[in-house]
Amino acid sequence: MKFSGLLDLFDKGDDPFKHVIDSSSERLSYVGTAAYNALRFKHAWHHHSQWNVTTGKTVGLLQQTPKADIFKSSADPAPNHSDWFPEALKEIMSKTTVWCDLMSLGEPDGIFVTKMKEALLVICENAKSKPEGKPIIVRMMFGNIVGMPVNCENIIKKLTEDLPTDANVELWVGAWRKGVSWNHAKIIAVDGRYLHTGGHNLWESSYLKHNPVHDLSIEMEGRVAHDGHLVRVLLSICSFYDKTDSFS
């Protein structure tokens, strides 16, 4: 049996079904090495698609909602306590000049929709300098959760209602589920350079109002963003090749 172009990922002479070797793993911390060893032995076939050893730098502080000082009191946080968070998502999306991939568990609501619409308006401005036939591509993928169906056409209509009709931008929205498995990634990847990822969903009442969910996300720059795009590509392939999934 031949594995054209694949055997280079494995130890020479070893069983190719056993594990992979990532050339970027030499400088990992002991925590990173432990995670890497678990992934390369247990999930070798997902290397370069669902996991990878990569590089990048963090931007700013860890994004925590509500912020840490709220835990000094048992009272509910003040109104608008975490409205800065959807604004941060808008800022990273607004950097798009080529393509933006966004993934989340469920569709956005409330202020998250408002900020995404504002980001798309900025992206439309960015696209004015691009030649005809070279649009900026924005792709979104959500988990089509049991009990929370996603209407992709309605999302597109909502997000584009204020955009110019001649905008040099393409917006693709998909929702994916197979049995009891669906997208759970929370990723915004922009131009292969900027990445936002973590645990936050795009739900106003859960994160921005009273009794909010405590969650963490992080913003990064560098090669790590490219891997965020690859996860989105993999989910798109799953959507197209499985008839039980939906993609619009």
Distance CA 143, CA 104 (A): 7
Q: CA dihedral defined by 83, 111, 62, 176, rounded to 10 degrees?
A: 160
**What pLDDT sits at residue 232?**
66
Take residue 138 and report the two structure tokens written for it. 């924005």
Domains and CATH numbers, the chain: 7-53 (no CATH), 56-247 (3.30.870.10)
SS3 of residue 149 by DSSP: coil
For residue 243, give the DSSP letter: T
**What pLDDT sits at residue 234?**
61
**What pLDDT sits at residue 160?**
96
Instruction: Label the pairing between strands 194-198 and 246-247.
Output: unpaired
What stretches in the chain show pLDDT beneath 70?
Answer: 1-18, 232-248
Q: Residue 226's CB: how many other CB atoms inside 10 A?
A: 16
49-62 tens-digit pLDDT: 788 899 899 999 99
CA 31 to chain centre: 23
SS3 of residue 5 by DSSP: coil
For residue 144, give the DSSP letter: -
Classify residue 1 by burial, with Cβ atoms within 10 Å: 0-12, 13-18, 19+. exposed
pTM of the model: 0.83
Given the structure tokens 């991939």, which residue do they identify? 101
